């Protein structure tokens, strides 16, 4: 019945694409019959949060929380009326602008068009807008240039002053009681804000603070004191977007005024996270010609006018908004096309340069007291800027003065360094390089090549123009349009084009000869290489050299422009050249040499380098190879981490709720190794503070002994009954996507029959943040996910009261892990990783003093030693499934 209604009758829904997916239908086309209340919310309340469900809308609009399906249906009607009333009363940023956008949408067939226009015209409105209202770039504020802030000072922060600042912050936040552990944390953290004594020897501290200690305000207290005394800035680096948002919220205790806080606490991410106004303009022009989704762009325009910083991944951009774009030939990629994912930014050459969200964030971070970044940005930019400075390269840098760094979620530092300092020559990466140099070559493709970005800057410099032409010609050897079908054609009719594609074909031959395929791909060691692989590697390296040499010549030519014409260059011209240099330098002096180095090692068939792991892999989709790669990773990525980030800093705090390992004689020994601290001349200071929560009274830890972990039916039945016993609020964690999907297929309908909604990563068409938002909002919902969910969940209260693991989260025994296992302790290294993952997952369960929760492991073979990192007071019990169901039901049932 629901399918028939969605396909034929006018319906009111919350999230049409998710509703269709749950009904086993494709995403519905844009139609005047489907009224999606999320679209109305995005229009009426741009840049405001709501979980994408009836319950989430009710919470955001302060409506009664619906408990039954009938109540949810009524809530959608009430939510729609409420939003239309708000539009009639006080639309933002102005009635005229909202009306211009609404009329444009109505002409495009938006179902809410007439109702929204009626609400907006219920009060007098001017007629100042002569356009569609989508030309937001005309009305955004511009950044203003300022003099450089100079080097930060070295005035120390006293431990007592840090504790005093903490008390003031807690009072500002409305907390009357200062927890002793939090005060100790703030006072001890002042150590990293002392002047360093010798170059290359930062004041480094490893601090484990259990859940509930309050480490965020604990380190913000001395950090804010240091910034006030010494100038910008302390960089706070996180691993997840959720924590970035949390830290920015916590900074309100320091700067309650929102305008002041926007300048003092700046969130920084990579360029690919921010709305690109030039791309947005391109999409708007395409939409006016019928080539892009008008509704999605209009809702994005409404958001951009209200957004604090233009951040489309984790900021005030609703995580579900991209799913409101229609799914069509071009609409499917519309949201992704609004950011700069290919390094094609023209910087000062862009008409929107002075309104650019990225440039605002970069400039804001240079003067902020606290910069809230992520591990990947800090590492990649520090390494890139440091390498450029060592070579004496010209041009500005995007991250400056990384003197004091706080790495929150420090247990992820090793993995973040592994990603930042690795190299991969794949079909996709090489094709992106070609597109970056040559520009779009297929019909309907968008983007700007080097010639479009650099030609006018080079003027009449013949050598530079010759280098540009050579680079464009050389890039023709890189994979072009249709490369994926040529490296592994279904019927073998189409051969590779160019030396890189030929190398990838040879890589796939070696993989098929030596690797066992899995559900998602296959991998094998790079050496000893097949003769075909060695021959094609040599030819591929030569082709890359023919691209690298002219790019280096371009770099030198632009550096000469900065030198020779320094007195006559305008500020915008200099900025544009510096931006171009960053992109050229990264590819010509880092990416291309790394690729050639890998290929040379394969061609020589040399002995394995003990510091690196080289291997081949291929990715599958629907049983077919879609990409192949040659990869190189450091065995120990803390070596480049130390050289690029730690040693140049003056003070570094690495903190987490799970750093120490109590099974070791020295609990911080493994943390020192995995954070790079062990590579510094002096041992770091360490601090361990236990959680203040009463885990013995509020938590249970159960290992089920009679469920086969290899049988999806048994795992599914166990999770179903445990979720039902808890009355919802259950999070199921899986170590494999295939098992997650199999369990979801078995338990979604039975849970729905009992009134429990089930959401799932890799099943529902939402990214992780949106799924967690729904899970947090709907107290009795259940959620299935993998490690991304485990790391990104911060759900206090009853919404998360049961956590079920399908099996022990051992590290995947791939080629890279096997090399590290041999280096770092074999079995003990495996144990340490699994033990840390279990402790991290358990830490998601109890977030407040009044939380209650059950942790259940469905793997009967779970060794007791892996639970030794759980908080004090947690007792491990081995029980049957029936006993586990009974315990969960009794323990989590709220009192009458």
Q: Does residue 706 contact residue 878 with C-beta atoms inside 8 Å?
A: no
As a whole number, the mean pLDDT across the chain is 90
Determine the average pLDDT of the residues in 616-638: 92
Q: Does residue 277 contact residue 356 with C-beta atoms inside 8 Å?
A: yes
Q: Specify the pLDDT at position 328.
A: 43
Residues in the chain: 896
Q: Phi/psi class of residue 15: alpha, beta or left (left: φ > 0; alpha: ψ in -120 to 50)?
A: left
Sign of torsion over alpha carbons 379, 385, 387, 390: negative
CA distances from 67 to 22, 54, 721, 847 (A): 20, 10, 21, 25
Closest among 335, 583, 312 to 437, alpha carbons compared: 583
pLDDT at 389 over 70: no
**Cα–Cα dist 325/335, whole Å:** 7
pLDDT at 395 over 60: no
User: Structure tokens of 789?
Assistant: 């969910």
pTM here is 0.93
Determine the average pLDDT of the residues in 517-533: 91
**Cα–Cα dist 174/161, whole Å:** 20
Give 896's pLDDT tier (boundaries 50, 70, 90): low
Give 470's pLDDT tier (boundaries 50, 70, 90): very high
- Alpha carbons within 13 angstroms on the beta-carbon side of residue 887 total 21
Coil, strand or helix at 876: strand
Give 177's pLDDT tier (boundaries 50, 70, 90): confident
User: Structure tokens of 306?
Assistant: 């209200």
Give 242's pLDDT tier (boundaries 50, 70, 90): confident
**Cα–Cα dist 724/754, whole Å:** 8
Q: Does residue 372 contact residue 279 with C-beta atoms inside 8 Å?
A: no
Residue range(s) occupied by CATH 3.40.50.300 in the chain? 159-271+359-420+638-689, 695-892
Q: How many helices (H) and strands (E) does the chain have?
A: 35, 20
**Cα–Cα dist 312/320, whole Å:** 11
Q: Locate all alpha helices (DSSP H) within 131-257, ordered by sequence.
A: 159-172, 180-189, 215-230, 241-250
For residue range 567-577, list pLDDT tens digits in order.
778 777 788 88
Q: Specify the pLDDT at position 186.
A: 97
**Cα–Cα dist 244/845, whole Å:** 20
pLDDT at 259 over 60: yes
Coil, strand or helix at 161: helix
CATH for 695-892, options being 3.40.50.300, 3.90.180.10, 3.40.50.800, 3.20.20.80: 3.40.50.300
Q: Does residue 768 contact residue 744 with C-beta atoms inside 8 Å?
A: no
Q: Does residue 420 contact residue 639 with C-beta atoms inside 8 Å?
A: no
**Cα–Cα dist 529/517, whole Å:** 19
Give backbone dihedrals phi and psi of 256, rounded to 5 degrees, phi first. -60, -30
For residue range 324-383, list pLDDT tens digits in order.
887 543 433 467 788 887 777 888 888 899 999 999 999 999 899 999 999 999 988 877
Q: Specify the pLDDT at position 492.
A: 60
Give 311's pLDDT tier (boundaries 50, 70, 90): very high
Higher-confidence residue: 208 or 381? 208
Q: Specify the pLDDT at position 391.
A: 57
Give backbone dihedrals phi and psi of 488, rounded to 5 degrees, phi first. -150, 65
Determine the average pLDDT of the residues in 719-739: 95
Paired residues of 523 in beta bridges = 617
Q: Assign domain 159-271+359-420+638-689 to its CATH superfamily.
A: P-loop containing nucleotide triphosphate hydrolases (3.40.50.300)
Determine the average pLDDT of the residues in 698-702: 96
pLDDT at 397 over 80: no
**Cα–Cα dist 102/123, whole Å:** 15
Give 460's pLDDT tier (boundaries 50, 70, 90): confident
For residue range 579-601, list pLDDT tens digits in order.
888 889 889 999 999 999 999 99
Q: Specify the pLDDT at position 394.
A: 52
For residue range 654-689, list pLDDT tens digits in order.
999 999 998 889 999 999 999 999 999 999 999 999
Residue 415 DSSP one-character state: H
Q: Specify the pLDDT at position 108.
A: 85
Q: Does residue 365 contact residue 234 with C-beta atoms inside 8 Å?
A: no
Residue 587 DSSP one-character state: I
**Cα–Cα dist 243/656, whole Å:** 12
For residue range 6-37, list pLDDT tens digits in order.
888 899 999 988 888 888 887 766 778 899 99
């Amino acid at each position: 019945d629901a399918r028939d209604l969605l396909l034929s009758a006018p319906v009111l829904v919350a999230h049409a694409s998710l509703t269709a997916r749950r009904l086993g239908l494709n995403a519905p086309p844009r139609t005047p019959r489907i009224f999606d209340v999320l679209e109305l919310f995005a229009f009426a309340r741009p840049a405001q949060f709501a979980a994408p469900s009836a319950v989430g809308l009710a919470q955001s609009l302060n409506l009664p929380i619906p408990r039954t399906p009938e109540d949810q249906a009524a809530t959608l009607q009430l939510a729609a009326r409420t939003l239309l009333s708000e539009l009639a009363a006080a639309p933002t940023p102005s009635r005229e602008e909202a009306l211009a956008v609404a009329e444009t949408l109505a002409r495009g067939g938006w179902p809410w068009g007439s109702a929204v226009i009626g609400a907006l015209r219920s009060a007098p409105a001017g007629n100042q807008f002569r356009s569609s209202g989508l030309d937001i770039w005309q009305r955004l504020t511009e950044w203003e240039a300022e003099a450089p802030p100079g080097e930060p000072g070295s005035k120390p922060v006293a431990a007592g002053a840090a504790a005093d600042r903490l008390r003031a912050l807690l009072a500002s936040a409305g907390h009357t009681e200062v927890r002793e552990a939090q005060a100790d944390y703030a006072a001890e953290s002042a150590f990293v804000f002392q002047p360093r004594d010798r170059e290359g020897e930062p004041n480094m501290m490893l601090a484990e603070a259990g859940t509930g200690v309050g480490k965020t305000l604990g380190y913000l207290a001395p950090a804010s004191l240091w910034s006030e005394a010494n100038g910008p800035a302390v960089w706070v680096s996180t691993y997840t977007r959720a924590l970035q948002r949390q830290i920015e919220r916590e900074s309100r205790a320091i700067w309650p005024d929102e305008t002041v806080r926007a300048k003092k606490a700046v969130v920084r991410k990579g360029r690919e996270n921010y709305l690109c106004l030039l791309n947005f303009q391109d999409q708007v022009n395409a939409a006016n010609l019928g080539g892009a989704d008008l509704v999605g762009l209009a809702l994005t325009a409404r958001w951009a006018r209200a957004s604090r910083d233009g951040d489309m991944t984790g900021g005030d951009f609703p995580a579900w908004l991209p799913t409101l774009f229609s799914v069509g030939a071009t609409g499917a990629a519309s949201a992704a096309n609004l950011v700069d994912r290919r390094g094609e930014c023209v910087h000062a050459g862009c008409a929107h340069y002075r309104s650019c969200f990225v440039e605002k964030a970069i400039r804001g971070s240079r003067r902020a007291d606290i910069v809230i970044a992520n591990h990947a940005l800090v590492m990649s930019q520090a390494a890139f800027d440091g390498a450029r400075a060592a070579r004496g390269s010209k041009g500005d840098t995007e991250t400056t003065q990384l003197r004091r760094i706080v790495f929150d979620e420090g247990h992820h530092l090793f993995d973040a360094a592994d990603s930042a300092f690795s190299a991969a020559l794949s079909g996709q990466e090489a094709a992106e390089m070609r597109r970056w140099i040559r520009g779009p070559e297929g019909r309907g493709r968008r983007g700007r090549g080097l010639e479009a970005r650099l030609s006018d800057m080079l003027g009449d410099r013949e050598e530079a123009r010759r280098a540009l032409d050579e680079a464009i010609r050389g890039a023709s050897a890189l994979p072009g349009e249709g490369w994926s079908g040529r490296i592994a054609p279904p019927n073998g009719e189409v051969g590779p084009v160019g030396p890189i594609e030929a190398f990838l074909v040879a890589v796939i031959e070696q993989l098929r000869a030596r690797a066992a395929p899995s559900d998602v791909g296959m991998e094998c060691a790079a050496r000893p290489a097949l003769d075909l692989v060695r021959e094609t590697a040599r030819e591929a390296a030569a082709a890359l050299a023919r691209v690298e040499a002219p790019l280096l010549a371009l770099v030198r030519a632009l550096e000469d422009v900065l030198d020779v014409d320094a007195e006559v260059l305008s500020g915008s011209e200099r900025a544009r050249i510096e931006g171009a240099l960053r992109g050229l330098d990264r590819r010509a002096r880092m990416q291309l040499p790394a690729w050639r180095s890998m290929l040379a090692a394969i061609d020589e068939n040399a002995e394995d380098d003990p510091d690196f792991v080289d291997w081949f892999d291929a990715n599958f989709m629907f049983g077919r190879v879609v990409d192949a790669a040659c990869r190189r990773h450091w065995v120990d990525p803390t070596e480049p981490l130390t050289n690029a980030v730690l040693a140049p800093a003056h003070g570094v705090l690495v903190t987490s709720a799970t750093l120490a390992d109590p099974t070791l004689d020295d609990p911080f020994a493994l943390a020192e190794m995995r954070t790079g601290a062990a590579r510094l001349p002096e041992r770091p200071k360490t601090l361990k503070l236990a959680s203040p929560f009463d885990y013995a009274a509020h938590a249970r830890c159960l290992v089920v002994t009679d469920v086969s972990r290899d049988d999806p039916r048994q795992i599914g039945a166990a999770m179903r009954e445990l979720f039902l016993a808890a009355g919802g609020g259950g999070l199921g964690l899986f170590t494999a996507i295939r098992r997650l999907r199999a369990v979801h297929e078995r338990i979604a309908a039975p849970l729905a029959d009992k009134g429990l909604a089930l959401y799932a990563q890799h099943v529902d068409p939402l990214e992780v943040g949106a799924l967690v938002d729904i899970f947090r909002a709907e107290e009795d919902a259940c959620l299935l996910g993998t490690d991304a969910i485990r790391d990104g969940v911060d759900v206090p209260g009853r919404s998360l009261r049961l956590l079920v693991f399908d099996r022990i989260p051992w590290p995947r025994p791939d080629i890279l892990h096997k090399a590290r296992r041999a280096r770092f302790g074999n079995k003990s290294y495996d144990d340490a990783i699994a033990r840390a993952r279990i402790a991290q997952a358990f830490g998601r369960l109890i977030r407040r003093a009044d939380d209650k929760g059950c942790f259940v492991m469905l793997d009967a073979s779970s060794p007791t030693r892996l639970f030794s990192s759980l908080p004090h007071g947690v007792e491990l019990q081995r029980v049957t499934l029936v006993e586990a169901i009974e315990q969960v039901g009794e323990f989590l049932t709220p009192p009458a």
